[in-house]
Amino acid sequence: MERLKSYIKWIETKGVDGFDKDECLSYLNDALLAETRLRDYENAEVQSGMKCYENRDNFRERVHTIQVTFQSGEYKGRIAYTIGGNCFGADLLEFSAHNFDEDVIKGFVVNDCNFSWNDEYEMFSLELKNENGDTLLCGQEDENDLCRMVVALEIIDCKIVSSK
């Protein structure tokens, strides 16, 4: 994180020859935000497997946190996002990259694999890591390839927002 902050400061003062300064800063600030979210998530007490799942009524609005784990060989990565409403269980566990536009991706609670989706070209990209920190860049033109990398899809948190 400190390295990203130093790059941002350097570009703000000196710029980068041949590159748009604002575009570089935007990219680095997005990377810093993603790294901050990942650090916050890793330090949080949210764990896989809830102690209690309040799913016995549909009179209260809830916010669920859904985590998707991708894997290819020994390389893994994950995203997590929130869904509001009064749906439960399997109704929330549907994965489609087409549901993730740029604004949704920026709102991910976790994106430790730099997941991105390009609607125009219908392509995804993500970076998976192994235990040694080595990365594997994945990008395909077919959403089915992405779905084949999904090894876990689970509700990791549910908060009741209101009573109706």
3-state secondary structure of 10: helix
> For residues 78 and 114, what is the distance between their CA atoms, to the nearest angstrom?
9
pTM > 0.85: yes or no: no
Q: Per-residue pLDDT averaged across 89-113, rounded?
A: 86
Cα–Cα distance, 79 to 68 (Å, whole number): 5
With 80 as the cut, is the pLDDT of residue 22 above it? no
Query: Percent of the chain, pLDDT > 90?
Result: 28
What are 35-58's pLDDT values in tens digits?
A: 766 665 555 444 456 788 878 877
Distances in whole angstroms, Cα of residue 51 to Cα of each of 156, 157, 158: 10, 9, 10
| H/E run at residue 41 | helix 21-43
Q: Tell me, what amino acid is at 39?
A: R
Exposure string over 27-54, b if 16+ CB within 10 A, otherwise e: ebeeebebeebbeebeeeeeeeeeeeee
- The Cα–Cα gap between 135 and 88 comes to 35
Return the exposure string of 125-144: e unless at least 16 CB atoms fall within 10 Å of the residue's CB, then b. Answer: ebbbeeeeeeebebebeebe
Which DSSP symbol is given to 131? Answer: T
Amino acid at 38: L
Q: Which residue has the higher pLDDT, 126 or 9?
A: 126
